[in-house]
Amino acid sequence: MDRTAAIISDQVNVDGTVTQLSLLADGKLWWLDGGKRNLTIEKEVIGFATDGLNIRLKTVVEGADGCCGCGSRGKVVRNDVVFRPSSEESHRLWCRKLKEFIDSLGRPKRLFVFVNPFGGRKFAANIFRDHVKPLLEDAQVHLTVQETKHQLHAKQVVQSLDFSKYDGIVCVSGDGILVEVVNGLLQREDWDTAIKIPLGVVPAGTGNGMAKSLLDSVGDPCTITNAVLAIIRGHKRSLDVATITQGETRFFSVLMLAWGLVADIDIESEKYRWMGSARIDFYALTRIFHLRHYEGCLYFVPAPGFEAYGETISYPGSSASKRIISDQMDGESGKLKRLGYQGPEIDLENLSWRVLNGPFISVWLHNVPWGAENTKAAPNAEFSDGYLDLIIMKNCPKLPLLSLMSDLNNGGHVKSPHVMYLKVKVLVLEPGPRRGDQEKEGIIDADGEVLARGKGSYQCEQKALMAYDKLQITVDQGLATLFTPI
Ligand SMILES: Nc1ncnc2c1ncn2[C@@H]1O[C@H](COP(=O)(O)OP(=O)(O)OP(=O)(O)O)[C@@H](O)[C@H]1O
C-alpha cells in the first residue's frame, strides 16, 4: 500500500479556517493553517473525543526546551487540535477512520494499575489522580485500579489476577512494586503465559531505576508524562529476569543485587530517613571513612570477551540447584505439577567457571543501566542481552573512592582502575564476614530489599528471605515484557 495515499481527505474547519485535512496511510494528518501543519498519530495523538460535530484530537507535542546537540529531548506538552467536519456523514467517517487507525497500533485498552501510596515521598496517589489517570482516560484506556495496602500486596493480587481481562499491568510506584509483580507472576502455575503480560512503570518511588533506564535509553527525561506516554503508545521490549536461588528459596530480580558498600549504604541509611534524599550521601561518606572489606568468593561464568577476569575453576556447586523439590505431586494424575517458574534450564557443570577471591569492598550485579534516577550503575547493561553486568571493587584508597561515588551519576566509575566491570551469565556469591572481625557479617540487597542479613549486621524491621550464605544467580533472557518508549 502507498504510505502517502490518503485514507480520508475532506474539507474541515480548524480554528475558524476552512482547510483540506488528510489522514494518510502512514498515520500523518496534514492540513493548512497559516502554514503547513501535520501530526503523527502514532507519536503525537493519544486519542480523540467528540463534542457535537467537533472532533478534538488529544495531542502531545515536544516543547521547545530540548537541549540541542546533547541528545536530550524537550518537555512534552498538551496541545489539542479541534476540527469540525463539514457534515454529519463526514464526521462519522472521520471518527471511524481515526478509530480504525489508532486501533491498528496495538495500544493497550484495558490496564490493571497498582498505586503505592506509601512509596517514595508518598505522592503516588496524587500523581495517579492528577497526571496518570487523565492521560490514560484521554487515550480511552479502561482502568482497574488497586492501591497497595501493605508489603507484598501487589504480589498477592497478581497471583490470582484474570489476565484475559487486561492488556498490561502498570505500577505507579518505585521499583519495589514492579519486583513484587514479577515475583507474583512467576509463582503462578501458568507463569509461562502470565509473565508475558506487558508491564509499565510510572516513577513515583524513591529509586525509579527501571523507569529511568527505559526513558533514558531513548534520550527522554524520566518524567511521569513520558512514562505514561510510553504505556499508551504500547511499544514493548523484553527484559531479562534473574533468578536468585538458595536451596528451595527463590527470588526473581529485574534490577540489581548488591553486597558490601552499596548494600550497606542502601539499607543502613534507612535509619537516617528523616534527612530525606541527603541520607544516602551522608551515609556514603560515613561508610567510606570507616570502610569495610568483606571476605568471600565470587564464582562466575563470564560473557564472551570477559574471560580474563579471575582464575579457572570447576563448578563450585550450590545448594541452589535442587530444581524439583518445590514441585508437588498432583493427587489426581500422579504427575509432577510445577508450582511456578524454577529458573532457567542451564547445564551449570559444563560451563567455563572462574573465581575471584575476596576481600571485596563492593559487589554489584545489574540488569539495567540505572539503579536509581541518579545512579548509572552499569552503563553498558542491556535489557535483554541475557547477561548481568558485574561491578566489583576490591581495593580503593578513600579519596579516589569519594570521587567514584560522584561518578555514579554518569556511569564514569566503571572506567576507574579500581573497578572491575564485566558481564556474566551466572554468578555464585559466597559472602563472608568483615575482614578483621569474624563476628560481623554483611547484608545482601536485591532490588532495594534485604535478601539476606548476616550475624552482627544492621538490624531493621524487614525479614530476610534468605540466609547470609552461598546463593546462585542465573539469568533468563527476555523472560518478561515491558512497555517501552520506542
Ligand atoms: N500501603 C502500604 N504500606 C506500607 N508499605 C507498602 C504499602 N504498599 C506497598 N508497600 C511497600 O512499599 C515498598 C516500596 O515500594 P515502591 O516500589 O513504591 O517504592 P520504592 O522506590 O521501591 O521504595 P521506597 O519506599 O524507598 O520509596 C514495597 O516494598 C511495597 O511492598
- List the residue whose alpha carbon is closest to atom 30 of ligand 1: 151
* Whether residue 179 has its Cβ less than 6 Å from ligand 1: no
Distance from the CA of 216 to the center of ligand 1, in angstroms?
23
Q: Do 25 and 124 have their domain in common?
A: no
Q: What is the pLDDT of residues 14-48, one digit of tens each?
A: 988 999 999 999 999 999 877 778 999 999 999 99
Q: ipTM of the predicted structure?
A: 0.96
- Grid cell in block for residue 176: 519495589
Query: Best substitution site from 148, 280, 461 to test ligand 1's pocket, by max atoms within 8 Å of Cβ?
Result: 148
* Whether residue 340 has its Cβ less than 6 Å from ligand 1: no
- List the residue whose alpha carbon is closest to atom 31 of ligand 1: 151
**242 is a domain residue:** no
Strands 419-434, 294-302: parallel, antiparallel or unpaired by DSSP?
Answer: antiparallel
| Encoded amino acid at 218, one letter | V
Distance from the CA of 155 to the center of ligand 1, in angstroms?
12
* Whether residue 200 has its Cβ less than 6 Å from ligand 1: no
Residues marked as catalytic: 175
Q: Do 268 and 202 have their domain in common?
A: no
Q: Do 324 and 453 have their domain in common?
A: yes
How many domains does the chain fold into? 3
Residues of the chain predicted below pLDDT 50 = 66-71, 321-330
* Whether residue 156 has its Cβ less than 6 Å from ligand 1: no
- pLDDT given for residue 318 in this prediction: 67
Query: Nearest-CA neighbor of 419 among 385, 389, 386?
Result: 389
Q: Length of the chain, please?
A: 486
- pLDDT given for residue 280 in this prediction: 84
Ligand 1: nearest atom to the Cα of 205: 21
Query: Best substitution site from 123, 155, 177, 180 to test ligand 1's pocket, by max atoms within 8 Å of Cβ?
Result: 177
Q: Do 83 and 228 have their domain in common?
A: no
Domain that residue 204 falls in: 110-234
**484 is a domain residue:** no
Q: Do 295 and 419 have their domain in common?
A: yes
Q: Do 114 and 95 have their domain in common?
A: no
Q: Do 178 and 99 have their domain in common?
A: no
* Whether residue 181 has its Cβ less than 6 Å from ligand 1: no
Residue 278 belongs to domain with CATH number: 2.60.200.40
Q: Do 122 and 30 have their domain in common?
A: no
Query: Nearest-CA neighbor of 147 among 194, 110, 113?
Result: 113
Distance from the CA of 300 to the center of ligand 1, in angstroms?
32
* Whether residue 173 has its Cβ less than 6 Å from ligand 1: yes
Q: Do 370 and 445 have their domain in common?
A: yes
Distance from the CA of 164 to the center of ligand 1, in angstroms?
27
Distance from the CA of 206 to the center of ligand 1, in angstroms?
9
**443 is a domain residue:** yes
The residue from 85, 103, 121 where one domain ends is 103
Residue 98 belongs to domain with CATH number: 2.30.29.30
- pLDDT given for residue 73 in this prediction: 64
Q: Do 322 and 358 have their domain in common?
A: yes
Distance from the CA of 438 to the center of ligand 1, in angstroms?
33
Q: Do 49 and 125 have their domain in common?
A: no
Ligand 1: nearest atom to the Cα of 177: 17
- pLDDT given for residue 274 in this prediction: 79
Q: What is the pLDDT of residues 191-224, one digit of tens each?
A: 999 999 999 999 998 889 999 999 999 999 999 9
Q: Do 279 and 416 have their domain in common?
A: yes
The residue from 103, 124, 148 where one domain ends is 103
